[in-house]
Amino acid sequence: MTGKGISVDSAALQLICPKGHGPGQPGSGFCTVCGSPLVVPIPPAPPLYQPAAVPSQPAASAAPPIAAGSPSAPAPAPSAPSSFSFTAPPPICKVCGGGGLHLDPAEAICTECGWLRPLYPGYQLDRTVFLWAQDGQAMNTLHSMSVLNTVARTVSDKVGRPWIEATYNGILIGPNQLPNVWKLAVLAARLIGVPYMPDVYVSGDSMWNTYTFGSDTSSFIVLGTAILTNFHNDDLLFVLAREMGHCRAGHALWKTVIRFVAGEMSPASGLLSGGLLGAISPTKLIGGALEMPLMAWSRQSDVTADRAGLLAIGDVALARRVLLTWSIRSSTILKQVNIEQWMKQEDASADQLTHISEMTTSSSMYTARRLRLLGLAARETNLMQWSEKIQPTRKQLSAALNPPPKPAPAPSAAKTAPPPAPQDSIRVVCSKCQNAMRIPLAVLRGKTSLNVRCPQCQNVMTLRSKPTTPSPVPAGPQK
């Protein structure tokens, strides 16, 4: 669990694979064979009748012990560690009393401890709903590397977060700082089921990039300014839900480890950044031994984040459009791009060299693969059922954050409607000076023409009545 809440100490539990692959590695939450999330084994039920032990029976005659792992060996009952999040009491907060106990029902977040109110009463979203299976496998690989685990244990709130946080020249958003972005970030966190709100910064140094750093108990997010200027409403909600998915999936700690071990993960710092000869140097190989697994995990973690964003908005077309805009980095150019033709181009280039290039030079999965995986995720029953379940609440809360603009008041009739023309006169415009005047009908009645002098230029005009055409009389029948 991420945010400012209490983490689950999975290392103290003897977790097993639900598909029968046996116990997982210590400290890991996923099966190394299939990538499924590990679960707590159910202890065997006690027998209905337990015969009393015979005191006189010698110990030597007891049955031989059953080897651990044997099919006949009963599974030991797991012990409940003190750090298990479902049994530990909530942290004490002077404002809400811990866990939102004294928080106003109308408030979605405690401004002191960052506790977030569930999306609706009883809402509990397990992170395995949007977690990508290969993400779990890659994290197992990281957990199995003792060197990386030593580094991860060293990266703590006292070292990792303050150091990285200080490297960004950013603005911490809140209720009084970019409140519209803040409210949308709170909604994204509630949709993904984050229990405590991470800090969110806006940085001009990042531009199109987003980052999630910290630890399993305290994470923070950095948004580039280009993200806020190009994405709005549901588009920005998708981006924010992706980062909240990183927090909820436990990625913040390993993102921080990547920052410390490999610095900025980009083609300029990849394994092959110095060419093939540079890649086989001893120094490069030692660095690559740590960098390659981290880059492999980072690519899979992006898929988990994409799935979290899709879960939040429930619109795969919107998610694909945002990812493409993010890749091209121009919403204006995207309107001119033939997306289907671009996808065919990417499919044609999906050869072995392309995969090698992705594995050795990029910490992010190429966009075409992510779009295909998003399409597959949109057909997953469990993921989309959860998304459909939360959409009515999401749309209601989104509408409250972005109320439609009030229509401008209609101008009064006295200002818009022209004054009614009098029925006892006609309007005449002087042919010389264009002065308008009105001639009473009384002076025209019974006359076929009338000379009128313009009062402004003294021009004389002759008004003539239009001849009336008699209506035709229908001819009678001919004899």
pLDDT at 208 over 80: yes
Q: At a CB cut-off of 8 Å and minimum separation 6, what does 374 contact?
A: 306, 307, 310, 316, 319, 320, 323
Mean pLDDT over 122-147 rounds to: 87
Which of 27-31, 135-139, 277-281, 414-418 has the least mean pLDDT?
Answer: 277-281
pLDDT by residue (tens digit) across 47-68?
Answer: 434 444 444 444 433 343 333 3
Mean pLDDT for 458-475 is: 67
* CB atoms closer than 10 angstroms to residue 292: 16
Is residue 451 helix, strand or coil? strand
Overall residue count recorded for the chain in this entry: 479
pLDDT tens sequence across 260-310: 766 654 334 443 344 333 333 333 433 445 667 778 888 889 999 999 999
- Closest by CA position to 148, among listed 248, 274, 30, 28: 28
Q: Could you give the CA distance from residue 374 to residue 407 in angstroms, rounded to a whole number?
A: 39
The more confidently predicted of residues 311 and 26 is 311
Predicted pLDDT of residue 175: 93
Q: Which of 218, 223, 216, 290 is nearest to 253 (CA)?
A: 216
SS3 state of residue 383: helix
What would the mean pLDDT of 227-254 be, rounded to a whole number? 93
pLDDT greater at residue 95 or residue 76? 95
- To the nearest 10°, report the CA torsion of 126, 131, 133, 135: -130
Instruction: Give the pLDDT score at 21.
Output: 66
Instruction: Look over the chain and give the mean of its residue pLDDT values, rounded to a whole number.
Output: 73
Which tops the pLDDT comparison, 162 or 460? 460
- Which pLDDT score is estimated for 476? 52
Q: CA separation (Å) from 430 to 126, 298, 437, 462, 465?
A: 83, 82, 8, 11, 17
pLDDT class of 455 with cuts at 50, 70, 90: confident
In b/e form, how buried is each residue of 441-469, taking b as 16+ CB within 10 angstroms?
Answer: eeebeeeeeeebebeeeeeeeeeeeeeee
Q: Is the pLDDT of residue 224 over 60?
A: yes
19 sits in the region (left: phi over 0; alpha: psi -120 to 50; else beta) called alpha
Most confident listed range (246-255, 362-371, 385-394): 385-394
Per-residue pLDDT band for 475 (boundaries 50, 70, 90) equals low
419/134 Cα distance (integer angstroms): 75
Q: Mark residue 257 as left, alpha or beta (left: phi above 0; alpha: psi -120 to 50; beta: remaining).
A: alpha
Structure confidence by residue, pLDDT tens digits, 10-37:
444 567 777 666 777 766 777 766 667 7
Helix (H, G, I), strand (E, B) or coil at 174: strand
Q: Which two tokens stand for residue 144?
A: 């199995």
Say what the pLDDT of residue 303 is.
94
Rounded CA-CA distance 48/161 in Å is 54
Average pLDDT over residues 211-233: 89
Residue 412 has pLDDT above 60, yes or no: no
Question: Which residues does residue 460 pair with via DSSP β-bridges, in sequence order?
Answer: 453
Q: What is the pLDDT of residue 139?
A: 83
Greatest mean pLDDT among 96-110, 150-164, 307-321: 307-321
Q: Residue 243 has what pLDDT?
A: 96
pLDDT in tens, 77-102: 433 333 333 334 445 888 888 888 88
| Domain assignments of the chain as residue spans, ordered by start | 127-342+372-401
Backbone angles phi, psi at 171, to 5 degrees: -110, 125
pLDDT at 184 over 80: yes
Whether the pLDDT of residue 174 is over 90: the answer is yes
